[in-house]
Amino acid sequence: MTLKNHHETPGRSLLMMIFGGTGDLTHRKLLPAMYHLIAEGRLPEECSVISIGRRDLTEAEYREQARASVKEHSRSGVDEQHMERFLSKLHYKRMEFISDPGSYAEFREWLEKNESLYKAPAVRLFFLAVAPEFFGLIVQRLRQNQLIVKRNPDHRVMIEKPFGSDLASARELNATITEALDEKQVYRIDHYLGKEMIRNILAIRFGNSIFEPLWNHHYIDNIQITSAETLGVEGRGAYYEQSGILKDMLQNHLLQILALITMEPPADLMPESIRDEKVKALRALRRYEPVGVCAGIAMGQYGPGTSLGKPVPGYRVEPDVAPDSTVPTYIALRASVDNFRWGGVPIYIRAGKRLDRRRTQIVIEFKRLPGVNYYQEFREQPPNLLVIEVQPAEGMYFQINAKKPGNEFRMNQVELNYSQNIRFQGNVPEAYEQLILEAFRANSSLFTRWDELEQSWQFVESVEQMCAEGGQAFPNYAAGSRGPARADRLLHEEGREWREIDLPESARNH
C-alpha cells in the first residue's frame, strides 16, 4: 500500500541539515539512516547531508567519526563503495547556534552557494536533534535569516520529542513555531510512527475484510497495549527526572498506538484524513476526574534487582536522580474511548523500565463464545486473540480454537503466525529511515499534528492530577521483575489478565 495524494516532492534534490550533528541521536540513528537511504538509492542523487555542530572538527575528521558510527549502528553490514558515496555527500559545518546568532547568515550564504550547484530545486529539511529548550529559538532564527520561508512547502523542519514538558509549555512552543512556519512545514517526530508494525496497523485494519466488521464493542472484550523495556535510564537520569514514564512513553508513543487502533476508517489514506480520525479518537479518550485517589492506575518505580542475570541498582541511585525521587518508571492504566464504537471496552495500557522482558505488543481480545447448551465442547474456550508485535519481533499472531487430532472431540488452541523478520530478513528499514524519507516526500501521516499532541497532553495531565496525592510508595517493584503487583490486580479486579504472548522463538533472533 502506498499512501497517495500527498505532495510527492517529485524532481527535487535534498539538503538535509542536522542541528546537533555531534550528538548521540545523530550518531546512533540519523547517520546510519542516511547511509541506508543513500546506499539503497531511495533518495535523489543530488543529495547532501550537512551536520551542524559546535565542535572544532574538520570535515575529514567528522567523516571518519561518521564512518565508525554507521559501521557500529547500521542494521546490516556496510558496503565500502556505498560508504564512500555516502561520505562524499556528508559535510560538517561548525556553528554556535545559540550564542552566535550571526552564524545563521553565514550558513545561509554557504547553503545557497551549494544549493545553486544542484539542477533540481532543493527540499531543505532541517532536523533538530538538539535539546528541546532550543527548538523554538532555532526555528525563529532559521526564519529570521531566510533559511526557511514561511509557507514554502519545500522548507521543512523535523522536530524531535519531547514537544513541551506539559500542556502549557507545548502550547507556547507551538505558538513560537507556527509564527515562523505553517503547520504543513512542521514534522513532529514520534519515532514509533516509523516502526513497521505500527505502520502496518492501517493495513491490517483496513486491508482485510475479516477484522473491521468485528472491530467494535460488540465483538471486542478489551484491548491491551504494552511497552516493556529491560533497560533502566542508561545515563539519561537528568532527562528522566523531568519526563518519567508518562512523558517519555504515554503522552506520545502509547497514545499514538491507541489512536491508530481505535480511530474510525478515514475517508482516504491522505495524511490529513488519517490525522483527522486520530484526533477524534483522542478527543473521545475519557479524561480522569481529579479526585486524587489514583483509581484505575498503577504507578511504579524500580528498586534494585537483577536484570538479565546481572545485579542492577534501583532508580533512585542512578546518576542524576534524586535519592527520594517520586518519578514513576512504570504505569498501567485503564483507558476508555467514549464513542459508539468503543463504549464499555477497556483499553489497558502499561509501560515500564527495567522489567523482565523487552516487548511492545498490542493485543486485541475478542469476546468469548456464548455458553450454548448443546455445544458443550465449545464452552470455556479461551478467547480469540489478535496480537501485533512491534518489537523485538515484528509480526502478528492470531489465536483460534480448533479440534485436537484424535478420536475424541477435544479442543485446543492453535496459532496463526506471521513473522515479518523471517519473511523479509534484513530488508526492514529502521524507523528513522522511514521518517526522513517520508518527510522528504512530504507525507506527514507519520508525524503528529498539533491538535493530536494537545489532546494527548490533556489526557496525561488528567492522569498526573488524579495521582498527585495518595500515590503509591516507591520503589515498589524490583528491577528485572514484571512490575508492581498493583498492575496485575487492576485487571484481576475486572476478571481479566494481561496477555503475554510469545511469538515463535525464531522471530526473536533479531
Nearest residue to the partner ligand NAP, using Cβ: 23
CA atoms 392, 395, 396, 397: torsion sign: negative
Under the criterion CB under 6 A, does residue 232 sit at the interface with ligand NAP? no
Q: Rounded CA gap, 75 and 33, in Å? A: 9
- Across 230-374, where does the E strand assignment appear? 297-300, 302-303, 305-307, 310-312, 330-335, 347-352, 359-366
Helix 450-466 vs helix 167-180: crossing angle, to nearest 10:
170
Judge whether 253 counts as a catalytic residue.
Answer: yes
Q: Rounded CA gap, 336 and 186, in Å? A: 30
Phi/psi class of residue 496: alpha, beta or left (left: φ > 0; alpha: ψ in -120 to 50)?
beta
**Least distance (Å) from ligand NAP to the CB of residue 30?**
9
**Least distance (Å) from ligand NAP to the CB of residue 25?**
3
Site for ligand NAP in 330-389 (CB under 6 A): none
When binding is defined by CB under 6 A, the residue of 12, 20, 89, 328 that contacts ligand NAP is 20
Under the criterion CB under 6 A, does residue 72 sit at the interface with ligand NAP? no
When binding is defined by CB under 6 A, the residue of 44, 53, 300, 395 that contacts ligand NAP is 53
Q: What is the DSSP string of 199-261?
A: HHHHHHHHS-TTTGGG-STTTEEEEEEEEE-S---TT-HHHHHHHHHIIIIIIIIIHHHHHHH
Stretch near ligand NAP under the rule CB under 6 A, chosen from 17-25, 109-117, 163-171, 261-269: 17-25
Under the criterion CB under 6 A, does residue 130 sit at the interface with ligand NAP? yes
C-alpha cell at 115: 544549493
Q: Give, for 34, the enclosing helix (H) or strand (E).
A: helix 31-39
When binding is defined by CB under 6 A, the residue of 155, 161, 195, 350 that contacts ligand NAP is 161
Residue 137 or 485 with smaller CB distance to ligand NAP: 137
226 contact partners, CB below 8 Å, separation of at least 6: 349, 350, 351, 359, 360, 361, 362, 363, 498
When binding is defined by CB under 6 A, the residue of 42, 54, 75, 496 that contacts ligand NAP is 54
Catalytic-role residue among 36, 218, 253, 492: 253
**Least distance (Å) from ligand NAP to the CB of residue 245?**
15
Instruction: Kindly calculate the radius of gyration of the chain based on its CA atoms and give it in whole angstroms.
Output: 24
**Least distance (Å) from ligand NAP to the CB of residue 199?**
19
Under the criterion CB under 6 A, does residue 175 sit at the interface with ligand NAP? no
Under the criterion CB under 6 A, does residue 23 sit at the interface with ligand NAP? yes
Residue 21 or 303 with smaller CB distance to ligand NAP: 21
Residue 73 or 217 with smaller CB distance to ligand NAP: 73
Site for ligand NAP in 30-49 (CB under 6 A): none
Q: Give, for 478, the enclosing helix (H) or strand (E).
A: strand 477-478
Stretch near ligand NAP under the rule CB under 6 A, chosen from 81-89, 93-101, 119-127, 424-432: 93-101
Stretch near ligand NAP under the rule CB under 6 A, chosen from 2-10, 127-135, 179-187, 410-418: 127-135
Under the criterion CB under 6 A, does residue 25 sit at the interface with ligand NAP? yes
Q: Rounded CA gap, 125 and 431, in Å? A: 17
Stretch near ligand NAP under the rule CB under 6 A, chosen from 53-61, 251-259, 365-373, 416-424: 53-61
Residue 54 or 108 with smaller CB distance to ligand NAP: 54
C-alpha cell at 286: 475519557
When binding is defined by CB under 6 A, the residue of 86, 92, 97, 432 that contacts ligand NAP is 97
Q: Rounded CA gap, 123 and 498, in Å? A: 46
Find out whether 439 and 125 touch, Cβ atoms under 8 Å: yes
Give the footprint of ligand NAP on this chain (CB under 6 A): 20-25, 53-55, 96-98, 129-132, 160-161
Annotated catalytic sites, by residue? 253
